Amino acid sequence: MNLQTNIPIQSRQPKIDYKSELILIGSCFAENIGDRFEYFKFRNTINPFGILFHPKAIETFLWMATQGEQYTKTDLFYANEQWHCFDAHSSLSNANQDQLLSDLNDALLFTQSQIQSASHIVITLGTAWVYRLKALDMVVANCHKIPQREFDKELLSVDEITQCLQNSAHLIRGLNPTAEIIFTVSPVRHSKDGFVENNRSKSHLITAVHQVIDKNKNTGYFPSYEIMMDELRDYRFYDTDMIHPSTLAVQYIWEYFMKTWVSENTSMIMKRVEEVKKGMAHRPFNPQSEQYQQFLKKVEQKKHVLQQEYPFMEF
């Protein structure tokens, strides 16, 4: 896609390359960008606790991971024939209580290790609206389809979000003082909250993020929300639900991210990775032909050379 944006592109350091190790935490848009890193075979970790929509959930997750905390069976609850944890997304829920507990604690240990070695940590904020479980007076990461009457809905203030993000950065710095923390606000509109409420939420998040990065070194902001709202206003940039960015929009934002954060030399390696992936996905009319066998050998050779240079790549 030909990138033409009116939003200034800032030169950032340190740039992301194939020596980098990335962690992406937050809303579903973190997974959209994470999938691109996965496709191009970067070393990356995407949402070990599943999608986390709001800054309080991200702070709680980082606290548990960085402080070596572990969950116990008292932290789990049973509903709709599965065991759940209010701190994690329902994608981790399991019919087996012991398996869920093991998955949660393994994810915490894995995240702690990844934070220690990460070069870049991308935190994507989805909403400032949270649900507080009345029975325990606690803000949850996910309601797990528990009836809404069991919760109070609240809008986090700018000050509350700022404190969450400051705490999150402090927790990361406790394990890794040099990692670059990249904040971004998801372009996905939370229409179920209402469009006025969604705009209030996004404005709180954006204001809080800038208060944090203005006071902290090794932090940056990527304007995914602004690109979607200001550059991609046409309806072709929205999915069929008219809420989520379309594949075209995600690609546009990804290219902007590349231009901002990924080194120019790395983009050449990415092209080599894509050549191998497209070659492996190619389906010929005649798989037995000599021409196709020669083609496969060339693809295999390109893959071998890449893996010699970057042993962590798996195709």
d(CA 232, CA 235): 8
Residue with tokens 């998801």: 186
Q: Where are the domains of the chain?
A: 21-262, 266-315
- The angle subtended at Cα 45 by Cα 232 and Cα 105, nearest 5°, is 130
Characterize the bridge pairing of strands 138-140 and 180-185.
unpaired
**pLDDT score of 11:** 53
**pLDDT score of 26:** 97
Give pLDDT < 70 ranges for the chain: 1-13, 242
d(CA 193, CA 156): 14
Residue with tokens 């009319």: 285
**pLDDT score of 29:** 81
pLDDT, tens digit, 9 for 90 and up, residues 79-91: 999 999 999 999 9
d(CA 5, CA 220): 19
Query: In Å, what is the CA distance from 49 to each residue of 52, 75, 79, 88, 108?
Result: 7, 15, 19, 5, 8
pLDDT, tens digit, 9 for 90 and up, residues 206-264: 999 999 999 998 999 999 999 988 887 777 777 777 677 888 888 999 999 999 999 88
**pLDDT score of 5:** 58
Residue 77 class from Cβ within 10 Å (0-12 exposed, 13-18 middle, 19+ buried)? middle
Topology adopted by domain 21-262: Rossmann fold (3.40.50)
d(CA 278, CA 290): 19
- The angle subtended at Cα 127 by Cα 124 and Cα 133, nearest 5°, is 120
Residue 112 class from Cβ within 10 Å (0-12 exposed, 13-18 middle, 19+ buried)? middle
| Cβ neighbours around 308 below 10 Å, total | 9
**pLDDT score of 233:** 73
